[in-house]
Amino acid sequence: MELAVVIIFILGYLAITLEHNLKIDKLVPALLMMGAAWAVVAVGHLDVFEITENGKEASHLDEVLLHHFGKTCEILIFLIGAMTIVEIIDYFDGFSTIKKFIKTNKKRTLLWIVAILAFILSAIIDNLTATIVLITILRKLVTNKEDRLWFTGMIIITANAGGAWSPIGDVTTTMLWMEEKVSTLYLIEYLILPSLACMAVPTLIASYLPAFKGEFEAPATEGEANKYGARMLYIGLLLIVAVPVFKTLTHLPPYLGMMLSLGIFTIFAEYFSNRAFSHADNESHHSPVHKALGRIEMPSLLFFLGILMTVAALESLGMILDFGNNVVEGIGTNTFILILGGASAIVDNVPLVAASMGMFPDMGMDAPEWHLIAYAAGTGGSMLIIGSAAGVVAMGMEKISFFWYLKKIAWLALVGYIAGIGVFYLMHL
């Protein structure tokens, strides 16, 4: 019966990777394999275990299921809070404030501005959201489609690099942080320089390519922006950054800090919104919070639920721990992590990191290997456009061809990935 669970996972994961060919949203196979995997565990009366530092400890199905569901929901609630804050900022057109800082018509200068913005923003509002924001801004600056594709490709690389060194910059890094595999300060200390190398080296090389030579013509300035936009942007970013501080001071789970930040932010949102409509006659006023909640990425959240709970089923059967032990004996932990980085360009990095957390239960908090996993999974996906959430959303927004990216951008992502790995190992010699 354990083999049936493995087959369900393989078939489900195959359906996820072939999402575009099958024309079925990836959340569908994720949810199906989650339900099917746990059903097999229950109907087959399979032995389940709780994985601890001492290895496998026998447990009851209800207890194991509740444990994994609770851990998964912590991540999902955290993401819901972060997504809602970002959507409220967008409701007030706060991200248009960033466009005001870009006052150049040189492609090379714009490349560095966009790269630095992607690196910083992705560390605060996550790499997926940063990519969406910067592509939206880019559309208002660069009208030439081919030029915009090149900039978008570099945004994917630099946004993923920026998300790797922040506990709230990438879903996989957030997972490691919330499971207390890494801490905020050590994550920044260990990965800021490798991530910076991953961003700077490809950007430096790209700045000498023909695509980034010369100038571009920006379209005429649009109408007046929302007068509360800048304030909401700064308040929202500050409250998101405050979440790791909240966890450090209180030692409470991060989702509580995110909910506190969201609660504070909604006060400002309602206040500014009411002021905006206070003098409008016969104007129906809808809460910006309600609108933001209606726009968050529920399909992505359900996908994460399905993936994480399916991996949890494999972990509860002890399969992932056994596989991890075999890997360590065969090729070593560091080699495995480097392969994981390359694999994350082909398959989703969320289940890869979820599985890795079950492979090494005896590895202590802030062990260098956990930080290397965070870097490899976060930046390795840049090597293919389908290898990261940032790449997939950019592919959809700008209709980027898989093979165009493979030919033009993938080698730059590989150079950046290797550069970051090199810096990491130099730091730990």
pLDDT in tens, 5-32: 889 988 988 887 777 777 888 789 889 9
Q: What distance in Å separates the CA atoms of residue 31 and residue 300, rounded to the nearest whole number?
A: 11
Q: By the 8 A CB rule, do 308 and 326 touch?
A: no
User: Tell me, what's the pLDDT at 282?
Assistant: 46
221 compared with 151, residue with greater pLDDT: 151
Angle in degrees, 0-180, between the axes of helices 171-178 and 184-206, rounded to the nearest 10: 160
Residue 52 falls inside a structural domain: no
Residue 138 class from Cβ within 10 Å (0-12 exposed, 13-18 middle, 19+ buried)? buried
Q: What is the mean pLDDT of residues 323-342?
A: 79
Q: Where in 53-128 does DSSP place strands (E)?
A: 55-59
Q: How far is CA 417 from the centre of its chain?
A: 17
In a domain? residue 97: yes
220 has pLDDT over 80: no
Mean pLDDT estimate for the chain? 85
Evaluate whether 244 touches 254 at the Cβ level (below 8 Å): yes
Backbone angles phi, psi at 411, to 5 degrees: -65, -35
**Residue at 53 is within a domain:** no
162 contacts 195 by C-beta, under 8 angstroms: yes
* Residue 224's pLDDT band (cuts 50, 70, 90): low
Q: Say if residue 37 is in the same domain as residue 65.
A: no
Residues 331 and 191 in one domain: yes
Q: Per DSSP, what are the bridge partners of residue 55? A: 52
Could you give the angle at which helices 27-43 and 61-91 cross, rounded to 10 degrees? 160
In this predicted structure, the answer to whether residue 406 has a pLDDT above a threshold of 70 is yes
Distances (CA, A) of 400 to 70, 76, 115, 290: 38, 29, 19, 33
Q: Both 192 and 240 in a single domain?
A: yes
Q: Are residues 20 and 124 in the same domain?
A: no
> Does residue 51 fall inside a structural domain?
no
69 shares a domain with 18: no
Residue 350 has pLDDT above 80, yes or no: no
Task: Verify that 99 and 28 share a domain, yes or no.
Answer: no
- Distance separating alpha carbons of residues 409 and 149, to the nearest angstrom: 10
Give 409 or 392, the one with higher predicted confidence.
Answer: 409
**pLDDT tens per residue, range 353-373:** 877 887 777 788 889 989 999
Q: How far apart are CA 76 and CA 221, in angstroms?
A: 39
Question: Are residues 339 and 351 in contact, defined by beta-carbon separation less than 8 angstroms?
Answer: no
Residue 55, Ramachandran bin (φ over 0: left; ψ between -120 and 50: alpha; else beta): left
- CA dihedral for 200, 201, 207, 210, sign (positive or negative): negative
Residues 246-301 have pLDDT tens digits of 988 898 888 999 999 999 999 999 888 876 655 454 444 567 888 888 888 788 78
Q: Look up residue 375 and give its two tokens.
A: 């870097």
> Tokens for 205?
């090389």
Provide the pLDDT for residue 140.
Answer: 80
Same domain, 203 and 116: yes
User: What is the domain extent for residue 13?
Assistant: 1-46
Whole-prediction pTM: 0.78
332 pLDDT higher than 90 = no
Are residues 260 and 302 located together in one domain of the fold? Answer: yes
Residues 106-132: tens digit of each pLDDT: 899 999 999 999 999 999 888 888 888
Do 13 and 158 belong to one domain? no
Q: Is residue 54 part of a domain?
A: no
- SS3 state at 106: strand
Other Cβ atoms closer than 10 A to 350: 22
What is the token pair recorded at 149? Answer: 């594709």
Do 80 and 172 belong to one domain? yes
- The structure tokens listed for 195 are 């991530």
Which residue(s) pair with 49 in the sheet? Answer: 58
Which of 385, 120, 399 minimizes the C-alpha distance to 112?
120
> Cα separation of 375 and 172, whole Å?
10
Answer whether residue 179 shows pLDDT above 80.
Answer: yes
Residue 370 within a domain? yes
Residues 330 and 224 in one domain: yes
Reply yes or no on whether the pLDDT at 415 is more than 90: yes
Number of compact structural domains in the chain:
2
Q: What are the distances in angstroms from CA 215 to CA 105, 205, 308, 314?
A: 5, 18, 46, 54
In this predicted model, what pLDDT tens digit does every residue of 30-69 receive, in sequence order?
899 999 999 999 998 888 877 665 556 777 888 889 988 9
Mean pLDDT over 233-244 rounds to 90
Closest CA to 347 of 3, 10, 1: 10
> Which residue blocks in 107-164 are alpha helix, DSSP H?
107-125, 127-141, 145-164
Q: Is the pLDDT of residue 207 over 90?
A: yes
171 & 33 share domain: no
Q: Do 165 and 175 meet the contact criterion of CB atoms below 8 Å apart?
A: no
Rg over CA atoms, the chain: 22
Rounded Cα distance between 393 and 400, Å, is 10
What contacts 263, CB < 8 A, 6 or more positions away?
none
